[in-house]
Amino acid sequence: MDRAARSRVPDPRGPGTGAAGSGFPVRRMPERFSVRDQVLASLRAEIIGGELAPGSVHSAPALAARYGVSATPVREAMQLLAREDAVEVLPNRGFRIAERSVRELAELAAVRALLEVPVVLALARSVAPGRWEALRPLAAATVTAAALGDRAAYAESDRAFHRALLEFSGNLQLVSVADDLHRRAQFPLAATSHGPHSPSRPAALLADATEHSVLLEALIAGDVVTVESLAREHFSGSTWG
């Protein structure tokens, strides 16, 4: 992305919108990544945040115009999102944003529980309680994002907390697999499934974030029994996790 192209991407906090007629705000893309990765990060955030609604169809040229880039990195980014089941490729049309069902998200939460809960319990028994203090800022970040109702920011901080927790295991393959499952679980429900108790609602996000802090306090206290109860409840009660 050249300097001129970057200048066409307004600050998301400003009044600007995307391509003509889209009505969507444009997110500033971090410059430390390749163009494709910049587009990928923005698309992922907008899908999670709901700006690209489940079931909606978007063409690569339209998205490219919106971001001020060529269509190639948009197509590449969308192909990567297709591997995460975040979008469906529609030949000669573009990409449809996936529509997650309650059942799909519940199944992902169940798989994550099978993977993460035993690891958290093992870590609660083996990691010195004082070492968990390093996770306080990450737990606090999830609460802040949830309180603001920023679903995209919450998704990032939520995954950061879980990654940091699992990294105490020293098993990088475990962390990678768990993070991929977590990312898949964060894409929103189908529009028909949105309701007052949807996991993407601010109140649900805040409840989920608060569980991080409570779990962390139990880990710091070395209370393995409470850690087990909280860890199992965290996955059974939320599709965000």
pLDDT tens digits, 124-138:
999 999 999 999 999
With 0-12 / 13-18 / 19 or more C-beta atoms within 10 angstroms meaning exposed / middle / buried, residue 163 is middle
Per DSSP, the residues of 123-170 read HHHHS-GGGGGGGHHHHHHHHHHHHHT-HHHHHHHHHHHHHHHHGGG-
Q: Tell whether the model's pLDDT for residue 241 goes beyond 70.
A: no
Q: Average pLDDT, stretch 37-51?
A: 92
pLDDT at 202: 74
Q: 102-236 is classed in which CATH architecture? A: Up-down Bundle (1.20)
Task: Using alpha carbons, list the distances in angstroms from residue 119 to 36, 137, 170, 177.
Answer: 34, 22, 11, 13
pLDDT tens for 8-31 read 443 434 444 444 445 555 555 544
Q: What is the mean pLDDT of residues 165-193?
A: 87
Give the C-alpha separation, 103 to 72, whole Å.
Answer: 34
- Distance between CA atoms of residues 77 and 64, nearest Å: 11
On the question of pLDDT at 118 being above 70, the answer is: yes
**What average pLDDT does this structure show over 132-146?**
96
For residues 78 and 197, is the Cβ–Cβ distance under 8 A?
no
Q: Domain residue spans in the chain?
A: 3-97, 102-236
Give pLDDT tens digits for 45-96. Answer: 999 988 999 999 999 999 999 999 999 999 999 999 999 889 999 998 899 9
| CATH class belonging to 3-97 | mainly alpha
| 3-class state of residue 6 by DSSP | helix
User: b/e string for 227-236 if b means 16 or more Cβ within 10 A?
Assistant: bbebbeebbe
Instruction: Identify which has the larger pLDDT, 24 or 118.
Output: 118
